[in-house]
Structure 1
Amino acid sequence: MVSNIIHALFLTYAALFPIVNPLGGALIFLNVTNNCSQQMRHRLAWRVAVGGFLVLACSLFSGSYILGFFGISLPAVRIAGGLVIAAMGWKMLNSSDSPVEASPASVKSDEGALDLAFYPLTMPLTFGPGAIATAITIGSQQPDLLTDFDRAAVHDVAVIIGLLAICATVYLAYRYADELKRVLGKNGTSVLVRLSAFIVLCIGIQIIWFGIADLVQSLSH
């Protein structure tokens, strides 16, 4: 049972980490909140982490049911989410000066900054359609509570811990984003953001590919 918990926990964390990309997102977060006080950035980081956990948890446990209600298939969500992620990565990668400039408009001051905590800082800047589609995919693979309650309960606990871990990583990365930028320096920051933009683009293409493969497979059946 312990091995099952560890496996589900690391699977959840490993699947979400490259898509959420806390380190690359932290630099964009810092640019957006550049005019805010350090205390406000800490509050925003906390709200992003909490909001992200709620988004991922809802997507994981009820996303497949919501899609079924509207008659939307998971491959369609993957393709749509992949297109959004790929477009965002392409825009960041080809921005004239720095990929950070492709982020949402900077917050002017502490006043009204909390209004931006969910949109755009949580969605789609940190927990975008790719992370939501991934959470839905993980949720669709969980055991049935009615037929295998013990295994399903263990799996759900492990997945929740995995979600908490990825959100805690986001909180720490965003809270200490200024220290990260100071350590990397101007050139290191530019390289990391460019690399993050390329990874986001690749993740978007990969999600699209998985969606197309699933659609083709469903047609063959």
Structure 2
Amino acid sequence: MLRSALLGPFAGTFSTFLLAFSALFSIANPILNAIIFNQITADRTHPERLRLARRVGVYSLILLLFSLWVGSYVLSFFGITLGALKVAGGLVIAVGGWRLLNAPERREAEKTLQAHQEGRTAAAETVDDIALFPISTPFTIGPGTISVAITLGASRPATGTAWPYLLSLSLACLVLAITIWVLFSYADSIGRIVGQTASRAITRLFALILLCLGVQIMASGVETLLLPIIAAARR
């Protein structure tokens, strides 16, 4: 299972929380997003930016929890196995991490385009019109983040420990949403303190974590798919 493969010797609730939060934080990269958020909302008033940051935090939490709790059932409805989900999700994460590791500037440009929506974001009359789309998704919570949330949620234990596991993941989603809210609220200060150079260095560090996480998830998926075949061949 993904839980045993990623957690290794750690089986506690706190370890599950740390794994989920680090994975979601790495791929969501709210520090980089806060810097871009500061750029695309420069013409908004401070109260508007604070209201937008709060709404993005709430919407991000809803998207993460929905992916975590419901995503696996949607995949089961379409007949997608956990092994296939691990391989596909791990591939998406690994490719994204590799691209981010080699060209963070390109990632910044893609994120900026997502947020600007060819000028429609700046042209919106109120921040409420852009809070869900495009700021919350796909800018803040994109396909990669949703894939990680679904994969973690689908790897819930089959025994009675499933509830502590899912609650730990939910807590990680809550902390990430609060982090997004706080960072976006102080995006102007973060932009001045961190700057583009430091942001790209942090992005490359997160990209390496993403690449390793994607490879680990793919390896776990291949194991899940091949073990029944190997066991049948030995009979």
The TM tier, using the shorter chain, reads: 0.7 to 0.9
1:170-198 per-position Cα deviation (integer Å, ceiling 9, x unaligned)? 1100001111223x2xxx41113322443
How far apart are the structure 2 equivalents of 1:85 and 1:70? 28
RMSD of equivalent CA atoms: 3.0
More deviation in 169-178 or 32-41? 32-41
The reply on whether 1:177 has 2:187 as its aligned counterpart is yes
Aligned CA distance change for structure 1 residues 125 and 89 (closer, same or farther; 3 Å): farther
1:111 matched residue in structure 2 = 125
One-letter amino acid matched to 2:122 = K
C-alpha distance in 1, partners of 2:53/2:75? Answer: 30
Which aligned segments of 4 or more residues in structure 1 are displaced greater than 3 angstroms?
80-92, 99-102, 196-217
Q: In structure 2, how many angstroms separate the alpha carbons of the residues matched to 1:201 and 1:157?
A: 27
The residue type equivalent to 1:131 in the other structure is T
Q: TM-score, normalised by structure 2?
A: 0.73
Question: Is the Cα–Cα contact under 8 Å of residues 130 and 204 in structure 1 kept in the other structure?
Answer: no
- 1:1-221 alignment to 2 at 5 Å? 4-72=12-80, 73-74=84-85, 75-80=87-92, 82-83=94-95, 92-94=104-106, 99=108, 103-104=112-113, 105=116, 107-108=121-122, 111-144=125-158, 147-148=159-160, 151-182=161-192, 184=193, 188-199=194-205, 201-202=207-208, 205-206=211-212, 208-210=214-216, 212-214=218-220, 216-217=222-223, 218-219=225-226, 221=229
Q: Cα 1:213–1:159, aligned 2, differ >3 Å: closer, same or farther?
A: closer
Q: Deviations over 1:198-217 (max 9, x none)?
A: 34654564455346535543
What is the identity, as a one-letter code, of the residue corresponding to 1:103?
Answer: T
Give the percent of matched residue pairs that are identical in Structure 1 and Structure 2.
29
Q: 1:192 to 1:109 in 2, by over 3 A?
A: farther
Q: Distance in 1 between matches of 2:148 and 2:67?
A: 9
Q: TM-score, normalised by structure 1?
A: 0.77
Length, aligned pairs only: 208
Return the alpha-carbon distance in structure 1 between the equivalents of residues 217 and 188 of structure 2: 37
